[in-house]
């Protein structure tokens, strides 16, 4: 028995035989070309055209098996095939007398190494996409067999890395789970696993040497463990765990349509946090009463340039439509600090968490904010939208953001576009100044949502990303709790609602405190919604 540990990417337990997914690598090609550069250029053009039509097919299949949002990656791949730097690098290789295969391979190595060396996790994850499209081109150029891998029986798929196109080509009904040596939580295969609802563990060091065909394995997607050739005792334990996990989910399912009301009748809404439009499905399936936080920056992180109004409008409309009239809180762009898309050339900052991020950046780059607000306002006609501004520390920032919003609304109405009349406008309370001045902010918004991740970081001067100060990063610190209580009181004194959308919203030990200070809404990852709701129904606030 061998136990390997990786990054938990999608929860649940799977037990089954291992299918070793080996890429049909194309390495056997000449370097120096016997053709003219013009002929090699034409070969690349034909291969790109063929790759695009394969990607169209994959897009359609993914829409059928998962949803449109999950399929978007294949549209991104198509765009990557047109990326000027990528195309020119291949062309330069050919002009130097190399074969199309060699030029594509060299470009792939260079670009993916460059992406892998970046600090940002999302960008590192893009390295796999460059390899994916290049592998597709190489397979086409060399005429290699690109037939899909066939799973004979329900299996756990193990691979050094799985590209999104690999994952989608596998038969969903037989895919129990997947485990990879490379990849991160933000990699598209991990996202697809969450969308498809199968367990996945990624980033398992040394996995390639432990992949044995048909060996029985256990995948615990919640803890990130992979157990290879488990002994009978472990197998038994995990079968029980799997059963109790399934039973627990079944028990929790009973809370799906129940109201989130404490024993003494206090109502606390339980909503879901989402990053991608595809996550809206998981929110609905888990009985969320709405979306408490859509981190819109992921639309920007995954693109090769700022997403235009149309692209954003479609994304917001998809989520609003899926939520069928339940409230969707979309937070405006919160980039900067640890979330910087590559196409954004921001100057170096010594303290990025205290720097030009989120609303500060948007108020400097007003056009970016205007595009997003126009898309949101247009989408507002398709459901119950709430717009939330992040990282507000000053009244002037909130007022300016609201002014811009009003201008965008007036502009759209003049264009004859329908904008919802019930749109709520709120702000994140995640900077201590906002909590301390919450009595001044409250009359100017429809709601507060407390971001306890940043509120804890800034209150305790403790970097949320630095594992060396991790023990000091405490959501239940008295200083943080006082700011929360203060914010909730200001909200209620002014007749507005107050939620929490930081990670601590799902902390069941803090639930009694949150209930006591009158928090109206908790927004958590989709698969925590029912657990939080159950805990609420077991609570008696009057006895606290």
**Within positions 413 to 452, which residues make up the interface with ligand PEP, using CB under 6 A?**
430, 451-452
Structure tokens at 223: 């803890």
Active site annotation includes 408? no
Do the Cβ atoms of 102 and 134 come closer than 8 Å? Answer: no
Q: Could you say which of 106, 161, 166, 454 contacts Mg ion (CB under 5 A)? A: 454
Shortest Å distance, C-beta 451 to Mg ion: 4
Q: Which of 102, 188, 271, 362 is catalytic?
A: 188
Q: Does 203 sit near Mg ion (CB under 5 A)?
A: no
**Helix, coil or strand: residue 220:** strand
Return the number of the residue (486 or 501) whose C-beta is nearest ligand PEP.
501
CB pairs under 8 A, 24+ apart, for 212-216?
A: 212/18, 212/20, 213/18, 213/19, 213/20, 214/17, 214/18, 215/17, 215/18, 216/15, 216/16, 216/17, 216/18
Q: Does 501 sit near ligand PEP (CB under 6 A)?
A: yes
Shortest Å distance, C-beta 501 to Mg ion: 9
Shortest Å distance, C-beta 329 to ligand PEP: 11
Question: Which of Mg ion, ligand PEP, none sits in contact with 279, Cβ below 5 to 8 A by type?
Answer: none
CA dist., res. 19 & res. 180, Å (int): 12
Return the number of the residue (11 or 451) whose C-beta is nearest ligand PEP.
451
Per-residue contact flags (x/-) with ligand PEP for residues 310 to 349, judged by CB under 6 A: ------------------------x---------------
Active site annotation includes 149? no
HSE, side-chain direction, 13 A CA sphere, residue 125: 20
Return the number of the residue (207 or 293) whose C-beta is nearest ligand PEP.
293
| Of 247, 69, 195, 203, the residue nearest 526 (C-alpha) | 195
Burial of 64 per CB tally in 10 Å (0-12, 13-18, 19+): exposed
Number of residues near ligand PEP (by CB under 6 A): 10
Do the Cβ atoms of 294 and 330 come closer than 8 Å? Answer: yes
Q: Does 297 sit near Mg ion (CB under 5 A)?
A: no
56: which DSSP letter? H
Q: Does 175 sit near ligand PEP (CB under 6 A)?
A: no
Q: Could you say which of 224, 502, 506, 526 contacts ligand PEP (CB under 6 A)? A: 502
Q: Which of 271, 362, 498, 501 is catalytic?
A: 501
**Within positions 424 to 443, which residues make up the interface with Mg ion, using CB under 5 A?**
430
**Within positions 447 to 486, which residues make up the interface with ligand PEP, using CB under 6 A?**
451-454
Return the number of the residue (281 or 430) whose C-beta is nearest Mg ion.
430
DSSP readout, 163-203? -HHHHHHS-GGGEEEEEESS--TTSHHHHHHHHHT--EEE-
Only one residue has tokens 């892998």, namely: 116
The residue ranges that bind Mg ion (CB under 5 A) are 430, 451, 454
Catalytic residues: 188, 501
């Amino acid at each position: 028995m061998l136990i390997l540990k990786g990054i938990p990417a999608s929860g649940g337990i799977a037990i089954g035989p291992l299918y070793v997914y080996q890429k049909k690598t194309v390495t056997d090609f000449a370097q120096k070309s016997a053709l003219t550069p013009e002929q090699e250029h034409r070969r690349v053009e034909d291969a790109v055209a063929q790759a695009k039509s394969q990607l169209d097919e994959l897009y359609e299949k993914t829409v059928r098996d998962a949803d449109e949002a999950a399929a978007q990656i294949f549209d991104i791949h198509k765009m990557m095939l047109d990326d000027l730097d990528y195309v020119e690098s291949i062309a330069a290789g050919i002009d130097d007398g190399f074969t199309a295969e060699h030029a594509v391979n060299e470009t792939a190595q260079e670009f993916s190494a460059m992406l892998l060396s970046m600090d940002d996790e999302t960008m590192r994850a893009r390295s796999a996409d460059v390899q994916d499209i290049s592998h597709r081109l190489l397979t086409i150029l060399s005429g290699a067999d690109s037939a899909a891998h066939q799973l004979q029986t329900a299996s756990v798929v193990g691979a050094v890395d799985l590209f999104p196109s690999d994952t989608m080509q596998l038969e969903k009904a037989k895919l129990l789970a997947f485990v990879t040596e490379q990849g991160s939580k933000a990699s598209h295969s991990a996202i697809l696993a969450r969308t498809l609802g199968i367990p996945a563990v990624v980033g398992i060091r040394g996995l390639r040497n432990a992949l044995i065909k048909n060996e029985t394995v256990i995948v615990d997607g919640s803890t990130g463990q992979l157990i290879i050739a488990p002994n009978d005792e472990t197998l038994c334990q995990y079968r029980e765990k799997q059963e109790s996990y399934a039973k627990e989910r079944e028990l929790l399912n009973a809370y799906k349509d129940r109201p989130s009301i404490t024993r003494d009748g206090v109502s606390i809404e339980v909503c879901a946090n989402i990053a991608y439009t595809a996550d809206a499905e998981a929110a609905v399936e888990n009985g969320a009463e709405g979306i408490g936080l859509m981190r819109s920056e992921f639309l920007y992180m995954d693109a090769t340039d700022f997403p235009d109004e149309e692209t954003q409008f479609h994304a917001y409309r998809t989520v609003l439509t899926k939520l069928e009239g339940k409230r969707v809180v979309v937070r405006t762009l919160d980039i900067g600090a640890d979330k910087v898309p590559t196409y954004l050339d921001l100057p170096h900052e010594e303290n990025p968490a205290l720097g030009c991020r989120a609303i500060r950046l948007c108020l400097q780059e007003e056009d970016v904010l205007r595009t997003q607000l126009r898309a949101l306002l247009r989408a507002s006609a398709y459901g119950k939208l709430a717009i939330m501004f992040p990282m507000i520390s000053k009244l002037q920032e909130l007022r300016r953001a609201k002014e811009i919003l009003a201008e965008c609304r007036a502009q759209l109405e003049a264009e004859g576009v329908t904008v919802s009349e019930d749109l709520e406008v709120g702000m994140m309370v995640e900077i201590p100044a906002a909590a301390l001045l919450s009595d001044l902010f409250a009359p100017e918004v429809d709601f507060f949502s407390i971001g306890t991740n940043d509120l804890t970081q800034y209150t305790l001067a403790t970097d949320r990303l630095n594992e060396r100060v991790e023990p000091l990063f405490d959501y239940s610190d008295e200083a943080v709790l006082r700011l929360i209580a203060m914010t909730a009181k200001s909200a209620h004194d002014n007749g507005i609602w107050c939620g929490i959308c930081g990670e601590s919203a799902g902390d069941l030990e803090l639930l009694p405190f949150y209930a006591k200070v009158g928090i109206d809404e908790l927004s958590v990852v989709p698969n925590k919604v029912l657990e939080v709701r159950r805990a609420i129904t077991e609570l008696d606030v009057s006895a606290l």
